[in-house]
Amino acid sequence: MDPYQDKDTQMYFYENRLKTFVGWPFNEGCCCTPENMAKAGFIHTPSDNSPDTATCFFCLKELEGWEPEDDPIKEHKSHSSVCHFIKLKKKVENLTVEEFLKLHKEKHKFMMGKRCKDAIAMYAEAAKLRRAEIVKTVMGEE
C-alpha cells in the first residue's frame, strides 16, 4: 500500500486540496481564494444549491456562504476550534512519523464522531416516521 495514494491521506497535502476548487466562485481580489482555502485545510464540496460550500478534510466542518473578505483560517478556527489540523504549527511534510500518526488518529476520531451523529439522526428520523404510523393506526386513520 502506497500511503501517498491512499484516499484517506491524500487530502493532507495542500496540492490535492487545491485541485478540488474547480468552479470556486472566489478567485482573485479577495481573501477566500482557492489557495487560501486549501491552506486552511478546506476542500471544495459544492452542491446544486450552494456552490461555495467547503469542508475541512480533517474535522469535517462544513462552511458555506463565504464572503470575499472572509479569512479561511480565521473562519476555520472560529467554527471548529478543536480541529487539530488548523492548530498545526508546521507543515504536514515536516511532521515526524509519530506526529503524523497521532494527527491521523485524531482525524479518525472526527470521522467516527460524524458517522455516529449521522447514524443517530437517521435512526431518530426513522423513529419519528414509525411513531407517526403508529399514531395513525391507533387513531384509525388508515
Sorted by where each starts, the structural domains of the chain and their CATH numbers stand as: 7-138 (1.10.1170.10)
Q: pLDDT tier at 3 (50, 70, 90 boundaries)?
A: low
**By C-alpha distance, which of 55, 36, 37 is closest to 45?**
55
Give backbone dihedrals phi and psi of 63, rounded to 5 degrees, phi first.
-130, 140
Question: Over 80: is that where the pLDDT of 38 sits?
Answer: yes
Q: pLDDT tier at 27 (50, 70, 90 boundaries)?
A: confident
Cα distance between residue 98 and residue 103, in whole Å: 9
User: For a pLDDT cut of 70, what percent of the chain falls above it?
Assistant: 95
Cα distance between residue 59 and residue 12, in whole Å: 12
**By C-alpha distance, which of 46, 44, 72 is closest to 57?**
44
What pLDDT is stored for residue 78 in this prediction? 96
Q: Grid coordinates representing 88?
A: 498545526
56-114 confidence digits (pLDDT tens): 999 999 999 999 999 999 999 999 999 999 999 888 889 999 999 999 999 999 889 99
**By C-alpha distance, which of 36, 21, 39, 23 is closest to 68?**
36
**By C-alpha distance, which of 139, 70, 63 is closest to 54?**
63
What DSSP character marks residue 44?
A: E
Q: Grid coordinates representing 119?
A: 447514524
Most confident of 7-11, 24-28, 81-85: 81-85
Average pLDDT, the chain: 91
Q: pLDDT tier at 12 (50, 70, 90 boundaries)?
A: very high
For residues 78-94, one letter each, b for 16 or more C-beta atoms within 10 angstroms of the residue's C-beta and e for the rest, the string is eebeebbbbeeeeeeee
Contact status, residue 80 vs residue 61, Cβ threshold 8 Å = yes
